[in-house]
Amino acid sequence: MKQPIKNKERKFFKRPTATPTAADAAQAAAAAFKPGEKGKKTFALLRGMHDRLPKEERYWRAATRAAEDLAEYFQFGRIDTPLLEEAGLFVRSLGRSTDVVDKEMYIFDDRDGQKICLRPEATASVARAYIGSGLWNQAQPIKLWYQGPMFRHDRPQSGRYRQFHQVGFETFGVKDPAIDAELILVAFDFFKDLGLNVEVRMNSLGTLEERARYKIELINYYRTKRSYLCEDCRQRLTKNPLRLLDCKEPGCQPVKDEAPQLLDWLGDDSKSHFMKTLEYLDELGVPYLLTPSLVRGLDYYAHTVFEFYLAGVAEESAQMALGAGGRYDGLVEELGGRSAPAAGFAIGLERVVMALHKQNEAEQSPLLKPPAAQVFFAQLGDEARRQALLLINQLRGTGLRLAFNFFKNSLKNQLEAANAVKAKYVLILGQKEVQDKTVIVRDMESGVQEIIDQKKIEAVLKRKLEKN
Ligand code: HAM
């Protein structure tokens, strides 16, 4: 008998018929799509998005492993925040006139009418979690790290995507140059562990008040040069004057070179904090480049800021930062929490993977070497294949690294596949071995073969591999 539909469910099924929704349109488009038919439209990737394919996986895994190892050693706890956040969180944190908020946020109303966005970065989310989950009330510093996708509706190009991934490290609750230096060290070690040679560019933005005084000076200076400036810089002059120092237009460079420098406007405390950070880095042997034009694109920064670039590479793609960060002492209070100093950085993983690819680092970084298979499992015939799968599954957890390919039928092809994965031994299972409950072990170097009991596979192989 049919169950009556409850009221709540009925409401769900009742769809407005007059005005088609976006979901209806999407459904219609999907219905029109017939895979495999000639001349039919196929679905393409959205602009600025990319599929991560298995051939890149070892780079991603190496990068993730490097971050995990560093997080564990330097005692950062893992935090994962949602991809969706209230849009206001980023407007308040990054600043209304920053490019990320002004032009790049994926923002929409959800079904409750709330303004939601896909997170463009995670520092603001982590600060929200620090306040909301009571981490501020625990022994400080609180050290957190994360990894995951971020979304910015930026102009896509090589190394710049609309969905990209960051690994980030953040420290809350302590204002000490040792924290700034530790963060820069962790990032520097991350690149070093992957065999990437990077340059650290550094600057100090001082306090909000120092920066405000400097901005007046900067605007006064730039106003006198208005006629030499590019269109973007003219807009920056009123919207976001610090970004004038970021301009890459050749025509603006002479004006930029002569501009007043922020470091000259810092008070004693800010200068001392920055000097001590640099002294730590000298002590640690982390090379850095003082870069007065480095201002970062987000409003929450104060004091130390830094960016990482590939060293000694002139190509344009190398002019994109691999990572960046700095101190953001005012953010927690700005978001409604009890004042807490903080600092951190984030690294763009797509750019790291690209750099690893380019440098073809396989030889240099041990992290990038895929472990070779020790043993290849070859089978001949349907019956053998069935039993081989059972045996392969039984060998899982023994620590032996196995490879196999059930879709190559001849022994010759399977031995070639074994060679390709550099297997030292091949297990061969034919009709006779299935009946006898045995298996042939072939030494790939000498070609010598022996027949062993299936129950002894693990012990025999381990003994042989130990001898090697
Ligand atoms: P950010 O400079 O906006 O800083 O991004 C950090 C890194 O993410 C960049 O250096 C770059 O490698 C990568 N990245 C940014 N946008 C893209 C994109 N469209 N495509 C590919 N990679 C990209 C932040 O996000 C701050 N939350 C960093 C931070 C953490 N500051 C303090 N703590």
Residues 6+ apart with CB under 8 A from 24: 15
Which residue puts its alpha carbon closest to atom 30 of ligand 1? 345
Judged against a pLDDT cut of 50, whether residue 15 lies above it is answered with: no
CA distance 340 to 329: 6
The 10s digit of each residue's pLDDT in 204-235 is 999 989 999 999 999 999 999 999 999 999 99
3-state SS assignment for residue 445: coil
Lowest mean per-residue pLDDT among 12-21, 112-121, 159-168: 12-21
- Count of residues making up the chain: 468
The 10s digit of each residue's pLDDT in 119-141 is 999 999 999 999 999 999 999 99
54-206+266-363: in CATH 3.30.70.1230: no
Strand duo 323-327 + 342-348: pairing:
antiparallel
pTM of the model: 0.85
325 CB under 6 A from ligand 1? yes
Exposure b/e, 52-67, CB count within 10 A at least 16 = b: eeeebebbbebbeebb
160 CB under 6 A from ligand 1? yes
DSSP one-letter code for 368: G
Exposure b/e, 73-87, CB count within 10 A at least 16 = b: ebebeebebebebeb
Judged against a pLDDT cut of 50, whether residue 16 lies above it is answered with: no
Alpha helices in 421-456 (DSSP H): 431-436
Alpha helices in 194-295 (DSSP H): 208-223, 231-239, 253-257, 268-284
Average the pLDDT over 434-456 and give the result.
96
Q: How many CB atoms lie within 10 A of CB 219?
A: 13
Higher pLDDT among residues 314 and 18, named by residue: 314
Ligand 1 centroid–CA 13 distance in Å is 43
pLDDT confidence tier of residue 459, bands split at 50, 70 and 90: very high
Question: Is residue 421 classed exposed, middle or buried when 0-12, 13-18 and 19+ CB atoms within 10 A define those classes?
Answer: middle
pLDDT confidence tier of residue 22, bands split at 50, 70 and 90: low
CB-based contact 122:55 (threshold 8 Å): no
Average the pLDDT over 107-118 and give the result.
96
147 CB under 6 A from ligand 1? no
Structure tokens of 187? 């990032």
Ligand 1 centroid–CA 348 distance in Å is 6
324 CB under 6 A from ligand 1? yes
CA distance 203 to 17: 59
Amino acid occupying residue 330: G
Judged against a pLDDT cut of 90, whether residue 434 lies above it is answered with: yes
DSSP secondary structure string for all residues of 297-314:
S-TT--SEEEEEEETT--
Distances (CA, A) of 190 to 171, 185, 210, 362: 17, 8, 33, 16
Q: Return the ligand 1 atom nearest residue 154 CA.
A: 19
DSSP one-letter code for 263: G
CA distance 382 to 377: 14
List the domain boundaries for the chain. 54-206+266-363, 375-467
pLDDT confidence tier of residue 13, bands split at 50, 70 and 90: very low
Judged against a pLDDT cut of 80, whether residue 33 lies above it is answered with: no
**What torsion do the CA atoms of 7, 13, 18, 21 make, to the nearest 10 degrees?**
130
**Per-residue pLDDT at 98:** 86
Judged against a pLDDT cut of 70, whether residue 109 lies above it is answered with: yes
Higher pLDDT among residues 238 and 202, named by residue: 202
**Per-residue pLDDT at 366:** 58
Judged against a pLDDT cut of 50, whether residue 382 lies above it is answered with: yes
CA distance 333 to 338: 6
pLDDT-above-90 percentage for the chain: 76
**Per-residue pLDDT at 14:** 42
351 CB under 6 A from ligand 1? yes
Judged against a pLDDT cut of 70, whether residue 91 lies above it is answered with: yes
Q: How many CB atoms lie within 10 A of CB 252?
A: 21
pLDDT confidence tier of residue 331, bands split at 50, 70 and 90: very high
Q: Which CATH number fits domain 375-467: 3.40.50.150, 3.30.70.100, 3.40.50.9100, 3.40.50.800?
A: 3.40.50.800
180 CB under 6 A from ligand 1? no
